[in-house]
Amino acid sequence: MATLLHIDTSFNGENSHSRAVTAAFRKAWEAEHPEGTVIYRDLAAEPVPHLEAAAYYAGGTDPAFALRAELIEEAERADVILLGAPMYNYTIPSTLKAWLDHVFLVGRTSITENPSLAGKRAVVVTSRGGSYREGTPQHGNDYVENYLRLALGDMFGLDVSFITPELTLAPYVPAMAGLVPLFESSRTESLAAAESLAKELAVQLAA
């Protein structure tokens, strides 16, 4: 039975673009896996605490390790990990960083011959107010995608795909008014990409 770990981090609730796209992925995923399981975490509503020394150095049955064990096991149970990761000040929300700090465990999820999450698919929806594409003035300043490629891809061994709804501030910022059509097409393309990727991953998992 397929399991999806779905994590949202935007604090924008119903106005969130990343949440709209993760929801589109999840809806398509659930249609493909009616008997499947979805584990959901909303890190904006219920953030995990910052990692502290007691939890970092604890292990096994130590109570200080309990939350880390829970978060790691959720990720290990998942066939696919779906992350909403809006760009906040050029990088990921601190709530997502806190989750990563808990899940990174030397000898289990990383820095070992067979990291426990290796080979799983991850889908990251990284909404942003501007655009960081090649040819734009902000190209090179996106510390979401390059960081998550490193953290999820190199550190955990996940196979990561990105969906990027961009220019989301265009409807609100007068200086960006001319970019509204590009924002609208990015939103439409992101929703469609989420749906088709969910279906594609379902086929791959069934194979």
Q: How far is the CB of 124 from ligand FMN (least distance, A)?
A: 12
- Please list every residue from 18 through 47 that binds ligand FMN, using CB under 6 A: 18-19
Closer residue to ligand FMN (CB): 90 or 162: 90
| 12 counts as binding ligand FMN under rule CB under 6 A | yes
Query: Could you tell me which of 35, 36, 121, 29 has the C-alpha nearest to residue 75?
Result: 121
- Total residues contacting ligand FMN by CB under 6 A comes to 17
CB of 27 to ligand FMN, least distance (A): 17
CB of residue 119 to ligand FMN, shortest distance in Å: 28
Nearest to 186 by CA among 130, 135, 141: 130
What are the phi and psi torsion angles at 113 (to 5°)? Answer: -60, -40
Question: Which of 90, 147 has the CB closer to ligand FMN?
Answer: 90
Q: Cα separation of 120 and 161, whole Å?
A: 11
Q: Are 147 and 175 in contact (CB under 8 A)?
A: no
Report d(CA 75, CA 71) in Å as an integer: 6
Binders of ligand FMN among 141-200, rule CB under 6 A?
A: 168-169
How many residues make up the chain in this entry? 207
Is residue 130 at the binding interface for ligand FMN, with CB under 6 A as the rule? yes
